[in-house]
Structure 1
Amino acid sequence: MTDTAAALRTLVRDATRFPHFRDKYGKVDLDGDFDLAELPEMTREDVTVAAEQAAAHRPRAGSAYLFTSGGSTAEPKLAWIPTEMHLGELTRHWQPLTDTDVLANLASPGRLWSAHYCYNRVAELAGADVIGLGHVADEELGQWLSFLTRHGTTAVAGTPSQLERILRYCERTGHPFAGTLRVGIWFGEPCGPELPLLRDRVAPGLGLWGHYGSTETWVIGHNGPGCPVDTFHLLPYQHVELADGAVLVSTLHPGAVAPVIRYRIGDRAEEVACPCGRAGRALRIAGREGSLVKFAGTLVGPHQLVAIAKELPGVTAAQIVLTGDAGIAERMEVLVVGEAAEDAVRAHLLASQIDLGFALRGDDEEFTVRRVDTLPANPRTGKTPDFRWVQAH
């Protein structure tokens, strides 16, 4: 039996300690021809119940954080994460910082958000200094970037949206902060081509280092300056299956508090050879699985609409604002950043969606495009989601 197969058997066996999983996995023959693919997938509800029951039933061998993910477009999901956050293992494979760095951590603390504590700990393990700044609003950027420059900041940890805002500010104003940076750690949302292009123009000495994962699974994969931003090297303790392109994760780390077995993270991916040449499995993340909403009598994918809008010259960022509930939108507003004309963006989107274009043949008030200077971000996490729901009144 391989080490991975043995670890998978142990993972499933240990899961049956929790009442919620006794019926789900209790009848699996772990001594026979065990086939992981025959096990049912874990759902979001399973993950939340696992976190709750882990608190009540796990041996008190160590302390843990209760963190949450989601909540901007769905109910938050809870997960217990050991306070060491598996970072001893991670930093053996991923080392963006050294003991000469000063890290500005733009992730905000509190509200069960994990990134602030994670990247403080990454810096601590490297011997680097930390400025735990949190999210910075647009009107404060100049003041805080001057502060960070005075204090010798060489690295920034933030969402791609936050890093882009900083580089755009430096490009627009000539602020010297970008020239002091050598490390940009990004997390929390997909990193599109905009950030590398900005980096090339404004801060060519800035290396980009990213993570892929979720609060429930913790870090699944990582990349560095030699990797495309959509490609991640898998950590040894994360067993990843691709089921018709969908990512299923089983976490084999012996320090995991709650079981994660064939959890469908919600992304599509393909296995690739990363151009950096690092050995081991690597995944290219191809985007989210079908998160569709009904609008104007047809199903549309907000993530896809954002990607299509950004294909148009003159659009640097986009966001969909949906008004409605229960997955049915009454109105859709497309917010765009850039120089493209609103009418051109609207025509481009409708031309790309045959059903939507047929349903909206007139100048419908239910579907509008509006240019903005910046997209609204989640003030708790600094993430800029592809789409937001606004409750219909």
Structure 2
Amino acid sequence: MTATTGTGAAGTGAAGTGAAGTGAAGSIPAQPRPGGGAVETIGELPWEDVLAQARALETRGGAPVPPGASRLTDLPVTGPDEILSVTKTAAAGPGAVLMSSGGTTGRPKLTYVPYHQAVDRLLEQWRPLSPDSVMLNLFNPGRMWASHYYMQTFAERCRCTVIPSGPFAPDDVANWVPMLKEVGVDTLCGTPTALADFAEGLLAAGETLPVTTVIWMAEPWTEAKHRVVAKALPEAGFWANYGSVETYIIGTNTPACDLQTVHLMPDQVLELEEKGALLTRRGTGWTMPAVRYRLGDRLARAECRCGRPDALRVVGRADDSVSLRSALFSVGDVMRHARTFPGVEEAQLVLTRSTDDLKAATALTLEYTGDADPEAVRAHLTAEFYHLAAVHHRFPGAITARRVGRLSRVERTNKVPPAVWRD
């Protein structure tokens, strides 16, 4: 879940092609933006259904509904506290799986996820597995991260065979290939990082598997990772979905789609805001209900080669601004620029934390894999961002680049974060 940030996938259609309220009679009225204009939205819902959902959630620990609310923006924005309260109340009878997001650098955000994990909702839109599939599950198990268990439940519902292995180091893959061939593995699921590790192991061993389906989520593809997986598994179609531990699946992607685009599932509306998109849902069968729940990602409308409607892409994290010697910059913007330099395959910012401010850095090092010259990479960065150039001029050595053999990963999820902090 969460392709992505930077996750992946595409189309245009009548639904969700403008501001809220451009569709059927009785749908959500146009949402005013502070200062004028309308908030851009994707998807469409009847206002009466949204209001009923908000009032129902209020009785279960959700946010109060203001008297006289007549449009979506009249309702309060919600966050992790409301999700924890509402999902805990819902789990009191049937039980749930307690999952968390975050926790690497801050306090984990907890969600009580129902055992069904919204699989029936998902299968109405997205079917990468059949009863004949044999899937190798490369997602990390344990530590309350949801993806491994979500794919186990999804496989069970699809009545296929699943191998709950977790990720492999590249040099360990060759030892497992004979067994994987014997049982007929034809599907892999994992983060792009785990899938690329597995593919590197296959290529190094001179081996292959008859894989026709690759399911990915939780982080975006880089060109280098996608290239190695496509080389090792040339017959594979790529399937993805986008969501979070709190929301589970919001949108889906198939092999017919552009890689980094997803399509919003029905019965949902997204308000596209710089502070993070807001999700609203109606109906049953979801892992959690939502009225204006603040996601951690900035999303944008997209078009897709498949032609399906309600397409979107993940622009980046909404909270990725960092101060370097008083110069404010976006981690996502710097990373996108760094990856355009010839000879840079994968990249990551290493930030030295200020003792005075947890969101401020005193030094920045771009660590990368590839054969590019470090000083040339550093010059490429500072030439593009004038405020970083000013920092480099005033504080020589505050901005550097370093070639490495492997980037840092989050142990809990096996993902490569765009930035890591060091004291």
TM bracket (short chain): 0.7 to 0.9
1:136 is aligned with what amino acid?
F
Which residue matches 2:72?
Answer: 36
For the structure 1 residues 141 and 249, does the alpha-carbon distance in structure 2 shift closer, same or farther, using more than 3 Å as the test? Answer: same
Is the aligned partner of 1:176 residue 2:207? yes
Larger mean Cα displacement after TM superposition, 65-74 or 180-189 = 65-74
1:35 partner amino acid = R
User: 2:80 maps to which residue?
Assistant: 47
Q: Which residue of 2 aligns with 1:314?
A: 343
1:10 paired with 2:52, answer: yes
SS at match of 1:360: helix
Say if 1:18 and 1:50, in contact at 8 Å, map to a contact too: no
Q: In the alignment, which of 207, 231, 254 is matched to residue 237 of structure 2?
A: 207
Aligned residue pairs total 378
How far apart, in 1, do the equivalents of 2:181 and 2:364 lie? Answer: 41
Percent identity between the aligned chains? Answer: 30
* Contact 1:103–1:130 (Cα < 8 Å) also in 2: yes
Moved more, 154-163 or 360-369: 360-369
TM-score (norm. length: structure 2): 0.82
Partner of residue 37, structure 2? none
Stretch of structure 1 that moved more, 227-236 or 71-80: 71-80
Shift of 1:152: 2.0
Paired residue for 1:75? 107
Match of 1:95 among 110, 116, 127: 127
- The structural deviation recorded for 1:219 is 0.6
Deviations 1:217-263 (A, max 9, x none): 21100101111122111111332222469521113242456542212
Higher helix share: 1
Moved more, 326-335 or 219-228: 326-335
Per the alignment, residue 242 of structure 1 pairs with 272
Residue type at the aligned position of 1:285 = V
Cα distance in 1 between the residues matched to 2:231 and 2:61: 55
Alpha-carbon distance between aligned partners in 1 of 2:345 and 2:269, rounded to the nearest angstrom = 36
Provide the rounded CA distance (Å) in 1 between the counterparts of 2:188 and 2:93. 34
- 1:89-238 to 2 correspondence within 5 Å? 89-171=121-203, 173-177=204-208, 179-238=209-268
Report the Cα distance in structure 2 between the residues aligned to 1:38 and 1:7, rounded to whole angstroms: 15
**CA displacement at 1:288 relative to structure 2:** 2.7
The aligned counterpart of 1:268 is 298
Query: 1:116 & 1:250 partners in 2: Cα distance?
Result: 26
For residues 359 and 272 of structure 1, the distance between their equivalents in structure 2, rounded to whole angstroms, comes to: 35
The question of whether the paired residues in 2 share the 8 Å contact of 1:192 and 1:229 is answered with: no
In structure 1, the partner of 2:312 is 283
Alignment pair present for 1:377 and 2:409 = yes
Aligned partner letter, 1:4: P
Gaps in structure 1 of 5+ consecutive residues: none
Cα distance in 1 for residues equivalent to 2:276 and 2:252:
18
Deviation at 1:306, TM superposition (A): 1.7
Q: C-alpha separation between the residues in 1 aligned to 2:283 and 2:168? A: 35
Aligned residue runs from structure 1 range 297-308, under 5 A:
297-308=326-337
Q: Which structure has the higher relative contact order (CA within 8 Å, separation 6+)?
A: 2
CA distance in 2 between partners of 1:237 and 1:62 (Å): 24
Distance in 2, matches of 1:350 and 1:234, equals 37
Amino acid at match of 2:55: R
Residue 123 to residue 19, structure 1, CA distance change in 2 (3 Å):
closer
C-alpha separation in 2, matches of 1:14 and 1:175: 57
DSSP 3-state at the match of 1:311: coil
Specify the SS of the correspondent of 1:180. Answer: coil
**Kindly tell me: are residues 244 and 111 of structure 1, through their superposed partners in 2, closer, same or farther at Cα, counting changes over 3 Å?**
closer
Q: What is the alpha-carbon root mean square deviation over aligned residues?
A: 2.4
Q: Check whether the contact 2:263–2:311 (CA below 8 A) recurs between aligned residues.
A: yes
Where do 5+ consecutive residues of structure 2 fail to align?
1-25, 28-44
Evaluate the alpha carbon distance shift between residue 98 and residue 152 of structure 1 in structure 2; reply closer, same or farther with a 3 A threshold: same
Residue 277 of structure 1, CA deviation: 2.7
Q: Name the counterpart of 2:38.
A: none
- Quick one: distance in 1 between partners of 2:170 and 2:84? 36
Q: TM (normalized to structure 1)?
A: 0.88
